[in-house]
A and B are shown apart, each in its own frame.
Chain A
Amino acid sequence: MRYWSLLFLVTAALCVGSFVYAMFDPNWWLLHNVSVRSPLHFGAEIDRLTMLVLAITGAVFVLTMLALSWALWKYPASPGRVAQYSHGNHKLEIVWTLIPAVILVFLAFYQMGSWADIKFRSRRPKSAPLAQVTGRQFNWLVRYPGVDGKFGTTDDLHVINNLHIVKDQAVLIDLKSQDVLHSFFLPQIRLKQDAVPGMTIPVWFDVDTPGTYELVCAELCGWGHYKMRGLLTVHETQAEFNEWMTSALAEQNQTQPAGATAPDAQASDPATTATDPASSTVERS
């Protein structure tokens, strides 16, 4: 029954095919990358590495599946057929150890530079942090230092679930958590960093296109984890950003006079949709 080999061949073809199809369907594939033409362009870097690994692993996948299917096709049991008597082959063994070893070690070293740029603390922008982003079940609390440039003073601006930045400017964020783990995930920038209570973790990035982008919580943080959605708003110019900041501060002063503490996390929750059943245990004693 050599025809079993076709099952493996067809499966391999469909696997490759689904990736090829996905690349042409914007509803399937990687999100439009908005960290490409900006100075840091981390998104472009990560996409480039992803495609490189995809090409290498794709080639290895196709070759091994071809070899496997071929062996199944070529050597089925049949009357009179005797298997070769062989315990192995040292030369082959060395070849197929060395080639993947070289590829894998190359891949590891090839990635180091980008990893360092994106995450090594020493590479962070020298500017002061633009904002603190704090995870708290199930919201992103954003705090800007206000006019005095210092966090924790009365003129701080508090925003919930919306981080505003300016196009093409490398921003530094201090990432924190008040309760459990969360993860700050911006899929359109290919950026992710867990937020850990007790730690302040610097995160830096930039965006090349103004607009609003979704901020995902990617680390399980409790019953409402799925709705811990935030937004990243990117302004075209610094002036536009300043305008937003002024009006937001004015609004804050209206609803709660300066000096009030951070707004209650439960306050507004843009993420909850009407169809969500409320947690049956929200109101615990």
Chain B
Amino acid sequence: MSKKKSPASNSGPESIDLVATSHAPADPVSPGAAPTHQDHAHDHHEHPGPTNFLTRYVFATDHKVIGIQFLVSGLIFFIVGGLLALAVRWQLAWPWTRIPVLSSMMESQWQTKGQMPPEFYNKLFTMHASVMIFFVVIPILTGAFGNYLIPLMIGARDMAFPKLNMLSYWFMWPAFIVMLVSFTVPGGAAEAGWTAYPPLSVFRHSTPGSLNGQTLWLMGVLFAGVSSIMGSINYITTVLTLRAPGMKMFRMPMTVWSMFITALLQAFALPVLTSAIIMQLLDRTIGTNFFIPVGASVANEPGPVGGGQPLLFQHLFWFYSHPAVYIMILPAMGMVSDILSTFSRKPLFGYKPMVFAMAAIALLGFLVWGHHMFQSGMNPLLGATFMLSTMVIALPSAIKTFNWIGTLWGGSIQFTAAMLFATGFVAMFVIGGLSGIFMAATPIDIHIHDTYFIVGHLHYVLFGGSSFAIFAGLYYWFPKIFGRMLDERLGKIHFLLTFISFNCTFFLMHIIGLRGHPRRVANPYIYQFLDNPGVHFMNEFMTVSALLMGAAQLILIYNVLASLVAGKRAPDNPWRANTLEWATSSPPPHHNFATIPTVYHAAYEYSVPGEAEDFIPQTQPLANLAPSPALATSSHA
């Protein structure tokens, strides 16, 4: 797989000036000592960062600063998206009652004594999902962690295209702005759900949010997509060309593998979403009829004459958005794999099967989009084949789960906050994966499609999965990123409360969904089969739990802010981990490494028998194992 035959053959493409200064091959690392600036006075190339505030912190090209920018905006939108969700939950538990704060804010606009209008409810869940998916989970996983970690973990000084990297962040801002502004335009924000199915999303008078909000929504998603494309091109190139000497593909940590495969997914899937979005924009603005069939119309307007196909949009959308759900879980899986291995003090169980499982998920991910369309009117024959491919894609997920448990098995487990969230990820992903099998079974999906069962499934994979991994990653890499330790005790309390309230919020959704509780309804109690004490109890219980879960996040916010100011200074390698980012200072200097490190083995050499320490950084050869021939030639030790 790797083009490099020996570590000496690579120090990054010479054309890129910032890596040309690396003298790694001539500068072997002595065993036992992690390299730091001081050890290498003879190799004292200065890599001063930009001194101008604007180029240093705002229009920065340093991947670390860009990573932090993605992290900060992502976490802020996490709060925004979370508050939107709490309003959704409030309405489901106590429909049409006044909502604290929100009702007072909106009172004059609603003119309903503080009751939210039904279309406002639709805006809430639409914007909640759009913000969480396009502004939080994808940007934090790939933009923040991907950006920050890829160069550090492969031993590069920066991304291959630092300017493109900067652009990829700043393209998020038009997206942020149009999405937020859309709340204030006539008709308000979009209401067609994050899936934006036409004709609802295209007819301007189908619902207030389709008047103007939908156009802004489309532009927002378009900008976010452009940002992702730029990022993915950069990540692919960086991983392929800038690995440090000795960092063969199959020595890369799972985090890097996952970011690499995710970038490939994005590069192949996003163009399809982009075209779908542009087609919908054209339908809305200049009256093309890609998605509107002859004769359909709302509000007694004349229908279009030339005809399109509503299902075409669904195909295009899910051709991107099914891979997109993997874009939201693969990086999480990679990060969790590394964290589990570090805190079990044990090599990752089945490293190569894990890589292959990920690759399989990525490939199969392009063959299952139709499972979102079983009941859409798509030919049921196609549904049968999509059922088979969907069942098959559950397989690599199962393999990964077993390997994670295999990693814990026989370890020496340290229950840090990061580890708890990583373990929580595994447990919650099991539930999300298993509920997926119900929906993959087409006959069962007839009943549970578009019910709360789906909402349960997607929150187990996206909150219990992706978001728990984000928390795990935050606790794990915070010391590296900011040079300060987070408070572990607060971290554990945060985990405990989040884990409990998460399950209380989302587990009952499976049951209520099986009963038939539809999703996206402003008042479920219109239906008699839902207007009973059992359903009321479940909805109220879920809402109270969601409020508690929101409150528990205050602990995290406090912990982050307090630690930034007064946290304990972080050592270079607080978790005694092997990967390269721990071989430099915390936080790393401007170009990451004083000297480009040389890599001697894969990332998971923990508890190697006969070694003095229970970890052996990738920069350090194994004392008791003969180095591979390729390495022997370059090792001066």
Q: Is the CB of B437 within 8 A of A104?
A: yes
Which of A1, A54, A195, A280 is B415 in contact with, Cβ under 8 Å?
A1
Chain B residue contacts of A239, Cβ below 8 A = none
Q: Is the CB of A183 within 8 A of B380?
A: no
Chain B residue contacts of A118, Cβ below 8 A = 443, 446
Chain B residue contacts of A92, Cβ below 8 A = 402, 406
Sorted from nearest, which 7 A-B pairs have the closest CB atoms? A198-B293, A27-B534, A187-B516, A197-B296, A223-B119, A84-B410, A88-B350
Asked if B540 is at the interface of the complex by the 8 Å CB criterion, the answer is: no
Nearest B-chain residue to A219, judged by Cβ? B450
Which of B299, B348, B516 is A216 in contact with, Cβ under 8 Å?
B516
Asked if A276 is at the interface of the complex by the 8 Å CB criterion, the answer is: yes
Which of B192, B406, B430, B443 is A61 in contact with, Cβ under 8 Å?
B430
Q: Is the CB of A65 within 8 A of B430?
A: yes
Q: Is the CB of A222 within 8 A of B191?
A: yes
Nearest B-chain residue to A212, judged by Cβ? B528
Q: Which of A75-83, A150-158, A251-259 is found at the contact surface with chain B?
A: A75-83
Q: Is the CB of B376 within 8 A of A194?
A: yes
Report Cα–Cα, A195/B371, bound state, in Å: 17
Q: Is the CB of A75 within 8 A of B197?
A: no
Chain B residues in contact with chain A, CB under 8 A? Answer: 95-96, 110-112, 115-119, 121-122, 187, 191-193, 197-200, 203, 205-208, 292-299, 307, 309-311, 344-351, 353, 375-377, 380-381, 383-384, 387-388, 391-392, 394-395, 398-399, 401-403, 405-406, 408-415, 420, 423, 426-427, 430-431, 434-435, 437-438, 440-444, 446-447, 449-451, 496, 499-500, 503, 507-508, 510-512, 514-516, 518, 520-524, 526-529, 532-535, 538, 604, 606-609, 614
Chain A residue contacts of B345, Cβ below 8 A = 77, 83
Which of A115, A196, A275, A279 is B384 in contact with, Cβ under 8 Å?
A115
Q: Is the CB of A284 within 8 A of B511?
A: no
Chain A residue contacts of B449, Cβ below 8 A = 192, 218
Report Cα–Cα, A279/B23, bound state, in Å: 68
Asked if A126 is at the interface of the complex by the 8 Å CB criterion, the answer is: no
Which of A87, A187, A273 is B515 in contact with, Cβ under 8 Å?
A187
Report Cα–Cα, A196/B377, bound state, in Å: 7
Nearest B-chain residue to A56, judged by Cβ? B437
15-66 of chain A: CB within 8 A of chain B: 15, 18-19, 22, 25-31, 45-46, 49-50, 53-54, 56-57, 60-61, 64-65
Q: Is the CB of A194 within 8 A of B377?
A: yes
Q: Is the CB of B310 within 8 A of A71?
A: no
Report Cα–Cα, A98/B353, bound state, in Å: 13
* Chain A contact surface mostly: mixed
Q: Is the CB of B430 within 8 A of A64?
A: yes
Asked if A114 is at the interface of the complex by the 8 Å CB criterion, the answer is: yes
Report Cα–Cα, A193/B293, bound state, in Å: 19
Report Cα–Cα, A219/B435, bound state, in Å: 21
Q: Which of A164-172, A174-182, A241-249 is found at the contact surface with chain B?
A: A174-182
Asked if A127 is at the interface of the complex by the 8 Å CB criterion, the answer is: no
Report Cα–Cα, A112/B441, bound state, in Å: 9
Nearest B-chain residue to A60, judged by Cβ? B434
Least CB distance, A98 to chain B, in whole angstroms? 10
Chain A residues in contact with chain B, CB under 8 A? Answer: 1, 4, 7-8, 11-12, 14-15, 18-19, 22, 25-31, 45-46, 49-50, 53-54, 56-57, 60-61, 64-65, 67-68, 71-72, 75-78, 81-89, 92-93, 96-97, 100-101, 104-105, 107-109, 111-112, 114-116, 118-121, 137, 177-181, 183, 185, 187-188, 190-199, 201, 214, 216-227, 229, 271, 273, 275-281, 284
Q: Is the CB of A120 within 8 A of B380?
A: yes
Least CB distance, A7 to chain B, in whole angstroms? 7
Q: Is the CB of A137 within 8 A of B206?
A: yes
Chain A residue contacts of B200, Cβ below 8 A = 180-181, 220-222
Chain B residue contacts of A57, Cβ below 8 A = 434-435, 437-438
Nearest B-chain residue to A109, judged by Cβ? B388
Report Cα–Cα, A65/B95, bound state, in Å: 37
Report Cα–Cα, A19/B509, bound state, in Å: 11
Report Cα–Cα, A279/B187, bound state, in Å: 11
Report Cα–Cα, A46/B449, bound state, in Å: 13
Q: Is the CB of A68 within 8 A of B450?
A: no
Q: Is the CB of B199 within 8 A of A179?
A: yes
Chain A residue contacts of B197, Cβ below 8 A = 181, 219-220
Query: Are A220 and B444 CB-contacts (below 8 A) given A76-B413, A104-B394?
Result: no
Chain B residue contacts of A119, Cβ below 8 A = 380, 383, 442, 446
Which of A83, A187, A284 is B607 in contact with, Cβ under 8 Å?
A83
Chain A residue contacts of B311, Cβ below 8 A = 196
Chain A residue contacts of B199, Cβ below 8 A = 179-181, 197
Q: A77-B413, A111-B444 are in contact. List 11 more A-B contacts (CB 8 A).
A: A14-B503, A28-B515, A61-B431, A64-B430, A84-B411, A85-B607, A88-B350, A185-B518, A197-B296, A225-B522, A229-B527
Nearest B-chain residue to A123, judged by Cβ? B380
Chain B residue contacts of A60, Cβ below 8 A = 434
Chain A residue contacts of B206, Cβ below 8 A = 137, 179-180, 222
Report Cα–Cα, A137/B203, bound state, in Å: 12
Q: Is the CB of B117 within 8 A of A279?
A: yes
Chain A residue contacts of B528, Cβ below 8 A = 214
Least CB distance, A282 to chain B, in whole angstroms? 9
Chain A residue contacts of B499, Cβ below 8 A = 7, 11
Q: Is the CB of A137 within 8 A of B383?
A: no
Which of B375, B411, B437, B507 is A83 in contact with, Cβ under 8 Å?
B411
Query: Are A112 and B112 CB-contacts (below 8 A) given A180-B200, A181-B197, A225-B122?
Result: no
